[in-house]
Amino acid sequence: MPVIEFQIISMQSGIHPTYHREAPVQCVCGKTFVTGSTIPKISTEICSNCHPFYTGEKKFVDTGGRVDRFKKLAERAAKAAAAHTATKEKRAKKAEADKKEVKAPKAEKKSEA
Ligand SMILES: [Zn+2]
């Protein structure tokens, strides 16, 4: 039977960040727990205690005002669209007025002939 030899390779020293086996995590909901991390102390906005997926509540989660930003963009887009349609209508009216002006002399010419 062949003998398998294992060689234990240790990590290279001086290149790895410090690993904190018991890094405290503090959530804004008040829950604290301990985890392993290279960051010594973690503060978070949402955790399994307060996230709607785990709680089952229909709670609105807006991190960093993304929904507000989207609403502002939508509002601006609606204003731009309204302005675009207004200019289109103006141009159409102007084109119609120009057509009428062009037609009017022709009518005069027909009456002359
Ligand atoms: Zn939480």
The string of pLDDT tens digits covering residues 40-50 is: 999 999 999 99
User: Which tens digit of pLDDT belongs to each residue from 57-100?
Assistant: 876 667 778 888 999 999 999 999 999 999 999 999 999 999 88
Q: What local confidence, expressed as pLDDT, does residue 111 receive?
A: 54
Q: For the chain, give the number of residues.
A: 113
Residue 24 has pLDDT above 90, yes or no: yes
What's the CA-to-centroid distance between 71 and ligand 1, angstroms? 26
Q: Which residue has the higher pLDDT, 97 or 4?
A: 97
Query: What is the average per-residue pLDDT within 24-53?
Result: 94
8 A C-beta contact, residue 35 and residue 23? yes
- Report how far apart, in Å, the C-alpha atoms of 73 and of each of 53, 64, 80 are: 28, 15, 10
Residue 113 has pLDDT above 70, yes or no: no
Q: What local confidence, expressed as pLDDT, does residue 107 receive?
A: 55
Q: Tell how strand 32-37 and strand 42-44 pair up.
A: unpaired
What's the CA-to-centroid distance between 46 and ligand 1, angstroms? 4
What's the CA-to-centroid distance between 22 and ligand 1, angstroms? 18
What's the CA-to-centroid distance between 10 and ligand 1, angstroms? 38
What's the CA-to-centroid distance between 26 and ligand 1, angstroms? 8
pLDDT class of 104 with cuts at 50, 70, 90:
low
The type of residue at 47 is: C
Q: Which of 29, 68, 64 is nearest to 46 (CA)?
A: 29
The values of phi and psi at residue 84, to 5°, are -65, -45
What's the CA-to-centroid distance between 59 and ligand 1, angstroms? 13
